[in-house]
Structure formats: structure tokens, C-alpha cells
Amino acid sequence: MTHPITQPHEGLGSGFPTLLRKELMRFWKVGFQTVAAPVLTALLYLLVFAHVLEGRVSVYGSVPYTSFLIPGLMMMSMLQNSFANPSSSLIQSRISGNLVFVLLPPISHREFFAAYLIAAIARGLVVGLCVWLVALFFIPLPPENLLWVLAFALLSCGIMAALGIIAGLWSEKFDQMAAFQNFLILPATFLSGVFYSIHSLPPFWQAVSRWNPIFYTIDGFRYGFFQVSDVSPWHSLAVVAGVFVVLCFLTLRLLASGYKLRN
């Protein structure tokens, strides 16, 4: 029988800042692994694809391929790390047995959700910013509209943070977590237009891409840099915001019910 995470009051109490600090320090103290390693991976993608395809692929008419690639790599890195932060934290806490120390203090399901969500978004944004700063050594790429960039960055990281919490709640073993990431997150990310415009695809695969929510996160984020995109940025924003709201609602429902947390 499961029991919900409960607390006498509904606001953000003393348990929230403590849990938030724990999750922030968790990735910050091993920044070489959680920040530097993803930046290096993105840099390798940039070097390989830019070297091979620069001058051979035309995107949006006037945008160089290297410039086109950088926002996609930024978003891919942000998505993967926003997912990894809460999912790895929860599965490690469950397997090591110290999840009970998070559940014992009086903390509401909203506080629990907010702490993991904010920490995951913070990690995603830090990684994305570092990828952009490193990319500036290769090509100057100031955003044309910073508000669009920030809106899609925050919402997209929030989507993956909520998915990471759901995956962490559902997974009881590391191989289940790996399956969730390898068969859902990675394919959706790589088939979302990180390395190409969907207009270069056959009509059937263009239609398939439009059912991938991750496509809209990358396309809208890219719009903030170039003011051009494959679909309307308002349409992308509506899709991304809608998915974020639905996932937040689902995650809060799971936490309120105590799904796989207290047996």
C-alpha cells in the first residue's frame, strides 16, 4: 500500500530549501562530470558535423550550417542533463536506501516536486550556457531575441525535469532507467532536428517529426537565435507549454499518491 507525501501546510516550508540545496550541490560538486563532460560531448559533435557538412548543407537560405547546429546542440545538452539530474538522484537514493531520509521530514509533494524541478532546470541551463560560451570561440552567435531563447530553454528543461522525476519514480533498477533513456529520450532528441531542418526530410518523416514534442523545443529555441524556424514559434511555444503543464500535473499526481515511494 502506498502513502502520499504529506505535510500539514501547502506552502513551501523549511524542507524545500534544504532539499533544493541538496539537489543543486549534488551536481555542482561533481561539475567535471555533470557539466564539463556534456560540454565536451557537444563540442565533439560540433567539430565533426561542422567540418563534414559546412558548405554542403544549406539551411534557411542564409544561415551557415555551423551556426544552425549550435542552438540544436545547446538544447540537446540541456534536455539530456535536465532529465539526468532528478532521474539519477531518485534511482540512486532508492537503490542505496537513503530515499527514506528525504521522505521522513515533513515535506509536501509540491515541495518535493519543486526542489527536483528547479535543480534539474538549473543544471540544464548551466550546461547550455557553457556550450554556448565554448561555441563562441568558433563562431559569434548572439541571440536575436533573448526572450524566446529563455522561454524555450526554461520550458524545455522543465519538460525533461518532469520526465526525469517520472522515470526516477518508475525505475527500480538501473537497467530500467537505461531503457527509459535509451528507448525514449535519446531517439526523441536525435530525431528532433538537432542536426537538420525537417524541410530536408521526405513528407512522411516531416509529418512524423511534427508529432515529436522535442522538435518544437529545438525549433522554437533556434528561432530565438535566427528569427527563422521550420514552424511558427507561437505554435512551438503552445506545444511546449502544453506538454510542460501536462507532465507537471501528472508528476504531481504521482507524488501526491506516493507512487513507488512509500510501501
SS3 per-residue string spanning 40-61: HHHHHHHHHHHHHHCCCCCECC
Mean pLDDT value across residues 213-223: 95
Q: What percent of the chain has pLDDT over 70?
A: 92
Q: Is residue 223 part of a domain?
A: yes
Torsion angles phi and psi, residue 228, rounded to 5: -135, 150
> Across 41-55, 164-178, 238-252, which has the greatest mean pLDDT?
238-252
Q: Which residue has the higher pLDDT, 157 or 61?
A: 157
Is the distance from CB of 157 to CB of 120 less than 8 angstroms?
A: yes
Question: Distance between CA 117 and CA 190 in Å, rounded?
Answer: 23
Q: Between residues 160 and 56, which one has the greater pLDDT?
A: 160
Instruction: Name which of 19-23, 57-61, 91-95, 159-163 the model is least confident about.
Output: 57-61
What number of CA atoms fall less than 13 Å from residue 7's CA on the CB side? 20
Tell me, yes or no, whether 89 lies in a domain: yes
CB 133 within 8 A of CB 70: no
pLDDT, the chain, mean: 87
What mean pLDDT comes out for the span 88-109? 80
Question: Of 20-34, 125-139, 196-210, 217-231, which gets the smallest average pLDDT?
Answer: 196-210
What integer pLDDT is reported at residue 9 of this predicted model? 46
- Residue 19 resides in a domain: no
> How far apart are the C-alpha atoms of 252 and 263, rounded to whole Å?
18
The residue-averaged pLDDT of 69-82 equals 94
Domain total for the chain?
1
pLDDT digits (tens, 9 = 90+) for 100-122: 777 777 788 899 999 999 999 99
Tell me how far apart the alpha carbons of residues 32 and 81 are, in angstroms, rounded to a whole number: 13
Q: Is residue 17 part of a domain?
A: no
At residue 8, the pLDDT reads 44
Residue at 79 is within a domain: yes
What pLDDT shows up at residue 10? 47
Residue range(s) defining the domain that contains residue 75: 29-257
Question: Would the pLDDT of 223 be above 70?
Answer: yes
Q: Domain for residue 23, yes or no? A: no
Residue 15 lies in a domain: no
Determine the pLDDT at residue 76.
Answer: 94
